[in-house]
Chain A
Amino acid sequence: MAPDKKLVERWRAAEILLLGGSAGSFKLLFQIVKLLPHNLNKTVIIVIHRKKNFFSEIEKLFAENSRMQMREVEDKDILNRNTIYIAPANYHTLIEKEGTFGLDVSEAVWFSKPSIDVTFESAAEVYKERCIAILLSGANQDGAEGLLKLKNSGATTIAQHPGDAEMDEMPRAAINIGAAEYILHTEEIFNLLNTP
């Protein structure tokens, strides 16, 4: 199925692509990272829940399979286009102001650090309608409030279809509070992100 015309327009106009996922989202994120072209001309920010002392190979795996630049966010990093940024474990990642990341070690949100809510909310404050955000599979409610703030600030918000999500609680929570403007099947997400 061809993606919605209006949605494609908004996808093309967006400067920031936000991806949030937890349990059951890893494979999907991996596939997304793999399909994004090197000249996407957007900044991609991925927030995925993980354990603090779990020295994950996520960044390495993503980097090896991506055509875009890949970087784990550090304090005061600049947001560059054509780069995928991954929120580091045991920190919250914020958009500090136009063009700059910030980190924070404060309390976990929904037992999660990084929290998707924190990143989404701060992106909503700074980048507003210039964001497009997709909330994927997960077993808690992190990300729903953040997605709502994004929607209210004019951003394009998408939840993975709960029927397709390995763990449906996260996208379902977002849909329940009316945070998702679009509910897309996995194939439709791929089609959209593949649209030049």
Chain B
Amino acid sequence: MTDTSVIISSPQITELIDLVKQFHGFDFSGYTKASLKRRIIRIMQLKKLGFYDLKHILVNDPHFFQDFLEEITVNVTEMFRDPSFYKAVNNQVVPYLSTYQHSKIWVAGCSTGEEVYSMAILMREAGLSNKSFIYGTDINTEVLKDARRGIYSLRNIKSYAENYQFTGLKGSISDHFTILYDAASIHNELKQNTLFSVHNLVSDGVFNEFQLISCRNVFIYFETELQERILDLFYKSLCPLGYLCLGSKETIRSDSFKKKFKVINSKENIYQKVGA
């Protein structure tokens, strides 16, 4: 299944990181190297490129970089991934959000939008549709086009429906879609409460104040120092007592940030901003 002939060394990875930064302005130096290496090997296999071809095309073909960016970042996502997480948000965070006239939610690293719409459905089920707005951001412009469209393959909806059932939400996931042939289109009512835009967690700053930030399965690709820089960005982007959700295998380990974020749910990694 994998072409074992593609080999790339660690210094070559560093060389590519430097080249991408120099020519395209994206800094991958804080990304975890084992994952990054797998992604680069995958691109070389898909495009049938050797290391020198890859370097050449990265510098000389402006269109190639978009493909590269799309492949190098992992865009595997689901609606209601980890149903127990959505259940916990519903029980522990939604009551807090409902106390606001209007709440803003940021899904950072939203890829093709599935988690943004999951959150929108959760808000709708809680009766907060008109009182909430969800921002989805990603490093990658191409995946955001899909996110804005909000049309997903029916094949995937089946597994999303199973996730949905485990969340304990009422009704079924199909209440939120219109089925068109082999695709499911998210209801406009849900789309109206969302905005998708490009934001690079590595280099971009605070752009709004939020009651809830969800950034799940993004930190796994970042080394500890970069994680801490982004935790600082999230801290500054949250209102006092605002909530931060990380992936179910991602915990805050740094002592200084443990003081700034109180654990609300240790299994689902839901935190609340505390301190000044």
A interface, CB within 8 angstroms of B: 53, 73-76, 88, 90-91, 94-97, 102-107, 109-110, 117-118, 122, 125-126, 141, 145, 148-149
Instruction: For B74, give its contact among A96, A105, A126, A148 (CB under 8 Å).
Output: A105
Task: Give Cα A105 to B33, complex, Å.
Answer: 15
Task: Give Cα A125 to B221, complex, Å.
Answer: 18
Q: Give, as a whole number of angstroms, the nearest-CB distance from A121 to chain B.
A: 8
- 29 A-B pairs within 8 Å (CB atoms) are namely A53-B83, A53-B163, A74-B249, A74-B251, A75-B219, A75-B250, A75-B251, A76-B253, A90-B81, A94-B34, A95-B34, A96-B32, A96-B35, A102-B34, A102-B220, A103-B220, A103-B249, A104-B74, A104-B221, A105-B74, A105-B220, A106-B35, A106-B76, A109-B1, A110-B1, A118-B38, A141-B1, A145-B4, A149-B4
Task: Give Cα A107 to B166, complex, Å.
Answer: 23
Residues of A within 8 A of B4 (CB): 145, 148-149
Q: Which residue of A lies closest to B74 (CB)?
A: A106
Instruction: For B166, give its contact among A53, A75, A141, A148 (CB under 8 Å).
Output: A53
Instruction: For A145, give its contact among B2, B163, B247 (CB under 8 Å).
Output: B2
Residues of B within 8 A of A118 (CB): 38
Residues of B within 8 A of A125 (CB): 34
Contact in complex: A105, B217 (CB < 8 Å)? yes
Q: Give, as a whole number of angstroms, the nearest-CB distance from A27 to chain B.
A: 27
Task: Give Cα A79 to B218, complex, Å.
Answer: 22
Contact in complex: B247, A75 (CB < 8 Å)? yes
In the complex, B204 has a CB within 8 A of chain A: no
Task: Give Cα A122 to B253, complex, Å.
Answer: 24
Residues of A within 8 A of B81 (CB): 90
Task: Give Cα A76 to B220, complex, Å.
Answer: 8
In the complex, B162 has a CB within 8 A of chain A: yes
Residues of A within 8 A of B249 (CB): 73-75, 88, 91, 103
Interface string of B121-139 (1 = CB under 8 A from A): 0000000000000000000
Task: Give Cα A72 to B247, complex, Å.
Answer: 14
Contact in complex: A102, B35 (CB < 8 Å)? yes
Given A53-B83, A75-B220, A104-B220, are A97 and B34 neighbors across the interface (CB < 8 Å)?
yes
Interface string of B249-263 (1 = CB under 8 A from A): 111010000000000
Residues of B within 8 A of A95 (CB): 34
Task: Give Cα A145 to B2, complex, Å.
Answer: 8
Task: Give Cα A145 to B251, complex, Å.
Answer: 32
Q: Which residue of A lies closest to B1 (CB)?
A: A110
Q: Which residue of A lies closest to B2 (CB)?
A: A145
Residues of B within 8 A of A90 (CB): 81
Q: Give, as a whole number of angstroms, the nearest-CB distance from A43 to chain B.
A: 16
Interface string of B1-38 (1 = CB under 8 A from A): 11010000000000000000000000000001111001
Residues of A within 8 A of B251 (CB): 74-75
Contact in complex: A105, B1 (CB < 8 Å)? no
Contact in complex: B220, A106 (CB < 8 Å)? no
In the complex, B185 has a CB within 8 A of chain A: no
Interface string of B77-90 (1 = CB under 8 A from A): 10001010000000
Task: Give Cα A145 to B33, complex, Å.
Answer: 21
Task: Give Cα A118 to B221, complex, Å.
Answer: 15
Task: Give Cα A102 to B32, complex, Å.
Answer: 8
Instruction: For B1, give its contact among A74, A103, A145 (CB under 8 Å).
Output: A145
In the complex, B224 has a CB within 8 A of chain A: yes
- Leading 8 A-B pairs by shortest Cβ distance: A106-B74, A103-B220, A74-B249, A94-B34, A96-B34, A75-B250, A75-B220, A105-B217
Residues of A within 8 A of B247 (CB): 75
In the complex, B39 has a CB within 8 A of chain A: yes
Residues of B within 8 A of A97 (CB): 33-34
Task: Give Cα A95 to B34, complex, Å.
Answer: 7
Residues of A within 8 A of B83 (CB): 53
Q: Which residue of A lies closest to B73 (CB)?
A: A106
Given contacts A75-B219, A96-B35, A126-B34, 17 further A-B contacts (CB under 8 A): A53-B163, A74-B249, A91-B220, A91-B249, A94-B35, A94-B38, A96-B34, A102-B32, A102-B220, A103-B249, A104-B35, A104-B221, A105-B77, A110-B1, A122-B34, A125-B34, A145-B1
